[in-house]
């Protein structure tokens, strides 16, 4: 105890000495900038003292004050230049319907050292596939930059985080990620692109089980019969089917801070108009940047509840932005919708109803609150309860909308970040 007290006192002394040195050095030069009116000199000196005290205080408190962006996920962890040693902090930072997702927080770290994927049944230690099928919780990280070309779908087991921070990791050109019949998955910091249909093969899904997989569609991330899933800060583009699909009674999903580009059917939530198992589906889409070359389903929502909040639609949409069928609830808040009428002259309407007719649509609860519409973009709302429902209040408390004027700043580092040890992560 006494030793700790002593060390603590020494640290305080050092801080005090540094503080005084800085203070003297800065005040000394201040008066030379004004002429000799004594009152002015006095007030300059006092101002200078005040400034230097404030500056020192900010330095002592670390950088946490100056890096806040209003992005409540990033503000929770990104101000920490020691992210490398505090990786699991991320697991406490989700918002929205997937806010309770812990991924592999309570498990060991697993370091992927081998980018190969030669056999989807007999797995090599050190590969991503060997990591994700394990039964125990794992926080999976990468030893170095790598491009992983998966021969078959990467079938994930529960309680896993794939954390790409600190390496430039691409899952590309072949199969991609399947989150099926599991819970608690975090996917963070990956580049996932050019995914292709694969299948008609045996694939391992746990240490004790492998089975026959038919053809997969070629989604970047397919979420099927799963809950508590958080897809954050990934760069997603150009796949054969969807970029993120949420189907077959999946729920408690948050899709945040991703950069989407160059793709047709971006996000499908809800398997089909007739599959009512998706009535309980709840998905939050927050802080994403919808960039160039996107056509439709940003997202498309069926049956369940879709909260679309503080996203930037900066490059228009070829067909529609937010759509849905089979009476979904769509709650659009604080987004920035910029139509691109040069490229897509017929696509100024944000919304599209893809089943039913006008009579039915009257009862579909589609709300727009605080959205910003530019270049002629417009949203066609519908529904009786509007913003008065209990579900609305809940969704909006899990992911509180910021003003749409802040959206450009909030989404400015969407996509996979560049993270170096001992430095704050930055956008590319
Ligand atoms: C998930 O459940 C469905 C339906 O029971 C089954 O057909 C499918 O094979 C399961 N997927 C995995 C990866 O276990």
Q: Tell me if residue 151 falls in helix, strand or coil.
A: coil
Q: Which atom of ligand 1 is nearest to the CA of 155?
A: 13
* pLDDT block averages, 10 residues each, the chain of length 428: 54 48 37 42 48 45 62 96 97 98 98 98 98 98 98 98 98 98 98 98 98 97 98 98 98 98 98 97 98 98 98 98 97 98 97 97 96 98 81 93 97 98 92
Query: What is the best residue among 180, 208, 226 to mutate for testing ligand 1's pocket, by most ligand atoms within 8 Å of CB?
Result: 180
For residue 122, report the distance from its CA to the centre of ligand 1, in Å: 20
Classify residue 234 by its DSSP letter: -
Q: Which residue's CA is the closest to the ligand 1 atom numbered 3? A: 181
Q: Which atom of ligand 1 is nearest to the CA of 181?
A: 1
Q: What DSSP string describes 170-223? A: EEESSB-EEEES-EEEEEES-EEE------SEEEEEETTEEEEE------SEEE
For residue 132, report the distance from its CA to the centre of ligand 1, in Å: 16
Q: What is the pLDDT of residue 12?
A: 57
Indicate the length of the chain as a whole number: 428
Q: Which residue's CA is the closest to the ligand 1 atom numbered 2? A: 181
Query: What is the best residue among 133, 175, 181 to mutate for testing ligand 1's pocket, by most ligand atoms within 8 Å of CB?
Result: 181
Q: Which residue's CA is the closest to the ligand 1 atom numbered 6? A: 181
Q: Which residue's CA is the closest to the ligand 1 atom numbered 5? A: 181
Q: Which atom of ligand 1 is nearest to the CA of 213?
A: 9
Q: What is the pLDDT of residue 391?
A: 84
For residue 196, report the distance from its CA to the centre of ligand 1, in Å: 21
8 Å CB contact between 121 and 140? no
The two tokens of residue 249 are 């009674």
Query: What is the best residue among 153, 225, 250 to mutate for testing ligand 1's pocket, by most ligand atoms within 8 Å of CB?
Result: 225
For residue 229, report the distance from its CA to the centre of ligand 1, in Å: 17
The 10 Å Cβ neighbour count of residue 396 is: 17
CA distance 241 to 222: 10
For residue 202, report the distance from its CA to the centre of ligand 1, in Å: 13
Q: Which atom of ligand 1 is nearest to the CA of 224?
A: 1
Q: Which residue's CA is the closest to the ligand 1 atom numbered 12? A: 180
Ligand 1 first shell, C-beta below 6 A: 155, 180-181, 205, 225
Looking at the annotation, which residues are catalytic?
Answer: 297
Q: Which residue's CA is the closest to the ligand 1 atom numbered 1? A: 181
For residue 181, report the distance from its CA to the centre of ligand 1, in Å: 6
Give Cβ neighbours of residue 202 (< 8 Å, ≥ 6 apart): 120, 121, 210, 211, 212, 213
Q: Which residue's CA is the closest to the ligand 1 atom numbered 4? A: 181
Give the pTM.
0.85
For residue 273, report the distance from its CA to the centre of ligand 1, in Å: 21
Task: Categorise residue 74: left if φ over 0, alpha if ψ from -120 to 50, beta otherwise.
Answer: alpha
* Domain parsing of the chain, residue ranges: 2-61, 74-102+166-410
Give me the helix-helix angle, 38-60 and 2-29, nearest 10°. 140
The 10 Å Cβ neighbour count of residue 245 is: 26
Q: Which atom of ligand 1 is nearest to the CA of 178?
A: 13
For residue 275, report the distance from its CA to the centre of ligand 1, in Å: 16
8 Å CB contact between 383 and 351? no
Please identify, in words, the CATH class of the domain defined by 74-102+166-410. mainly beta
């Amino acid at each position: 105890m006494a030793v700790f007290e002593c060390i603590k006192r020494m640290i305080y002394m050092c801080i005090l000495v540094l503080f005084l040195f800085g203070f003297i050095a800065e005040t000394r030069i201040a008066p030379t900038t004004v002429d000799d009116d004594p009152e002015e000199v006095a007030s300059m000196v006092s101002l200078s003292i005040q400034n230097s005290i404030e500056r020192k205080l900010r330095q002592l408190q670390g950088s946490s004050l100056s890096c806040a962006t209003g992005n409540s996920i990033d503000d929770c962890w990104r101000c920490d230049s020691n992210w490398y040693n505090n990786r699991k902090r991320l697991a406490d930072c989700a918002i929205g319907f997937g806010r309770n997702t812990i991924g592999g927080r309570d498990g060991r770290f697993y370091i992927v050292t081998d980018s190969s994927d030669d056999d989807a049944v007999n797995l090599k230690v050190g590969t991503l596939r060997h990591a994700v099928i394990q039964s125990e919780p794992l926080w999976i990280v990468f030893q170095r930059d790598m491009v992983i070309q998966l021969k078959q779908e990467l079938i994930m087991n529960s309680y896993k985080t794939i954390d790409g921070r600190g390496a430039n990791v691409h899952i590309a050109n072949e199969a991609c990620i399947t989150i099926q019949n599991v819970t608690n998955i975090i996917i963070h910091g990956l580049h996932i692109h050019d995914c292709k249909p694969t299948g008609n093969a045996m694939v391992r899904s746990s240490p004790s089980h492998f089975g026959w997989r038919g053809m997969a569609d070629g989604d970047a991330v397919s979420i099927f019969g799963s809950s508590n899933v958080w897809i954050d800060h990934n760069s997603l583009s150009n796949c054969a089917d969807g970029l993120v699909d949420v189907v077959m009674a999946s729920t408690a999903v948050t899709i945040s801070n991703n950069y989407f580009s160059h793709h047709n059917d971006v996000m499908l939530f809800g398997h089909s108009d007739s599959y009512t198992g998706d009535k309980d589906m709840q998905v939050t889409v927050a802080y994403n940047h919808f960039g160039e070359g996107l056509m439709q389903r940003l997202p498309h929502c069926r049956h369940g509840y879709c909260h679309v909040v503080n996203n930037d639609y900066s490059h228009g949409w070829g067909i529609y932005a937010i759509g849905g069928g089979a009476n979904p609830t769509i709650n659009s808040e604080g987004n920035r919708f910029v139509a691109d009428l040069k490229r897509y002259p017929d696509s100024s309407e944000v919304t599209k109803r893809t089943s039913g007719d006008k009579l039915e649509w009257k009862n579909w609860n589609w709300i727009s609150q605080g959205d910003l519409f530019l270049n002629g973009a417009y949203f066609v709302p519908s529904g009786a309860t509007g913003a008065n429902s209990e579900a609305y209040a809940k969704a909006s408390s899990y992911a509180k909308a910021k003003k749409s004027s802040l959206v450009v700043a909030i989404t400015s580092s969407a996509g996979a970040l560049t993270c170096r040890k001992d430095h704050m992560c930055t956008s590319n």
